[in-house]
Amino acid sequence: MEIILIFLLVVGLCKKFSVAPPKQKKPKRYNRYQRTAYNDASGNSVFDTLFDDGNFGEFLIYSCLEDLGEQHKLLTNVYLPKGDGTTTEIDLIMISATGIYVFESKNYSGWIFGDENSRYWKQIFRGGRHFQFYNPIWQNKKHISVLKQHLGLGDEVFHNYIVFSERCFLKKMLVYSPEVKVMNRDELACEIVEDMTQRPEIFTPLEIEQIYNELSRYTLADDETKQAHVDAMKWRGP
């Protein structure tokens, strides 16, 4: 009897370990990427998106804005030509009935100190390490200036949003212009919905489509355009 029990136990263990292991679940990041149109809009592969901090930050903003509905047209990585022959690269644009929302993504960590009127902002880490970076409000205002000239639209149409990651703390943030917003990414959905409900509609669905079609020509830039932009930035600075 004992021999039979031992035999049955061994057979049971063999069956247990011979069963194929369960399939690994795909990471949440990948699943979220697959649910959005970011790949088609940006041309960035799943690898280039999920393993590049800058691209991943833009993707998270795009995904958030995409949830607002198809009536809001989204563009990302827009390389718009300037009068001097160079380009300006705009992270994200949302064209809505209430205006054109221009986003500068900063997928940073640490403590952030900034003043709208200062040329440089500061990023501080525990232990005292700190870095300076160019004022992103000014950076995005330059983008908006090129957009305004290209589309022939007034200042009142454009809204300037600076979006930092949830991993950083906006310790001291002085913003004076009513059309400028600086926030963490997890605040974006609530902020922009509230802003849109308080603003009048200025574009019809046809006008939204026309602006979108015009700016779409400057997305999905080729490698030559991207490299020329990088080279120009190195030469001229921010």
CA distances from 174 to 99, 158, 213 (A): 24, 20, 36
pLDDT classification of 45: cutoffs 50, 70, 90? confident
The answer to whether residue 10 scores a pLDDT higher than 70 is no
What's the CA gap between 102 and 141, in Å, rounded? Answer: 9
The pLDDT value given to residue 5: 44
The pLDDT value given to residue 225: 77
The pLDDT value given to residue 141: 97
pLDDT classification of 83: cutoffs 50, 70, 90? confident
The pLDDT value given to residue 36: 85
What's the CA gap between 213 and 228, in Å, rounded? Answer: 24
Give tens-digit pLDDT for 90-148: 999 999 999 999 999 999 999 999 999 999 999 999 888 999 999 999 999 999 999 99
**22-36, 130-144, 173-187: least confidently modelled range:** 22-36
163: Cβ contacts below 8 Å, ≥ 6 apart: 57, 61, 103, 104, 105, 106, 183, 184, 185, 188
- Average pLDDT on 4-26 reads 42
Q: Looking at per-residue confidence, does 11 or 225 come out higher?
A: 225
Average of per-residue pLDDT values in the chain: 86
Structure-token pair, residue 190: 């609530």
